[in-house]
Amino acid sequence: MSLLLDARQRAMLAEMGIRVWQPLPEPPSVTRQAEAATARTVPAQAPAQPVVPSTVRPMPAPATAYSPAADAAARPSAQSVAPALPPSQPEPAERATAVAPPASSSAAGPATGHWPAWEALDAARLQQAVADCEACALHTGRHHAVWDARAAGLLAPPAPGTARWMVVLDAPGEAEDAAGLAAAGDPGRLLDHMIAALRLDPAQVYRTHVTKCAVPAARNVTGDEIASCAGCLRREILLVQPTVVVALGRHAVQGLLGRSEPLGTLRGQVYHVAVPTQEAAPDWLAELPVIVSYPLAHLMRHASAKAQAWQDLCLAYAVQRSA
């Protein structure tokens, strides 16, 4: 059985990407009759070979004009061409992986969920996790994760009867990012003077920031960025085990207490660390006293606010003595 295609059918197959090697039909001629007679003289044992003309003849023009619309109608759809998996056959592993939803994050860990829960980390692993953290956008401009290297020994349980302070500051800035040190530059020196005025041992005061990455100078830290570091901040508190916590700034207050009222309204009272209900934490963490005051940058710009900040520190000192 032979299949003869006219010029229009060949054009349609070529548009579909199918190449046809069958020679074009030609009217009978003396030459064709001679070629057929010659083919009949080939011995039976010789393998059959296609007859290729010695010269390439031009393709005759199609009998009807080519119509793109007719061609598209005759062309099979992609759904009919693509092979479908049998109903009982599962999706390939690589396809199932591509559409699988991301793993849910731990309530106490970063929002991305690829870091271990903060409460499972000791001091060294906590600092390494923060140095590698990509839970929020702040990591893209980070030069150093910010820690209080001057009081690194405080990230260990205190001796019985030891009074420790913890000062939580707003998000770090350029000076802290460059040094990798909490409370760097002029604000840090002001905090040192405040600690000395209370006659506290600087080695018993742990300084930290509500986030461990600096915030660009053109904007404030966001609530999502504070939430990404909140679990880490609570883990620091568990490691340091302070007697009292002083929150300097509204972002520090947000990370510790989850509150957004003005500082002038929150000052002069004793608060406690806000611990999520789903987070496993010792009872004393939810009872740890927190005192609210103004951020160091505000105190440097407004000298009159230093008297109010001194009152707040005296309140923290009285709470710590009565603990």
Q: At what angle do helices 223-240 and 250-257 cross, to 10 degrees?
A: 70
In a domain, 288, yes or no: yes
In a domain, 89, yes or no: no
Tell me the sheet residues that pair with 205.
Answer: 165
Backbone angles phi, psi at 2, to 5 degrees: -120, 150
167-192 residue pLDDT tens: 999 999 999 999 999 999 999 999 99
- Quote the pLDDT of residue 110: 31
In a domain, 45, yes or no: no
In a domain, 37, yes or no: no
Spatial separation of the C-alpha atoms in residues 197 and 190, rounded to whole Å: 11
Quote the mean pLDDT of the chain.
Answer: 75
Tell me the sheet residues that pair with 244.
Answer: 165
Number of folded domains that form the chain: 1
> Which CATH number covers residue 266?
3.40.470.10
Neighbours of 177 (CB within 10 A): 21
In a domain, 143, yes or no: yes
In a domain, 16, yes or no: no
208-228 residue pLDDT tens: 999 999 998 878 999 999 999
Query: Quick check: pTM over 0.85?
Result: no
3-state secondary structure of 102: coil
Pinpoint the alpha helices (H) of the chain: 7-15, 30-40, 68-74, 78-81, 93-99, 123-132, 174-179, 185-197, 223-240, 250-257, 263-266, 283-286, 296-301, 305-322
Host domain of residue 204: 118-322
In a domain, 243, yes or no: yes
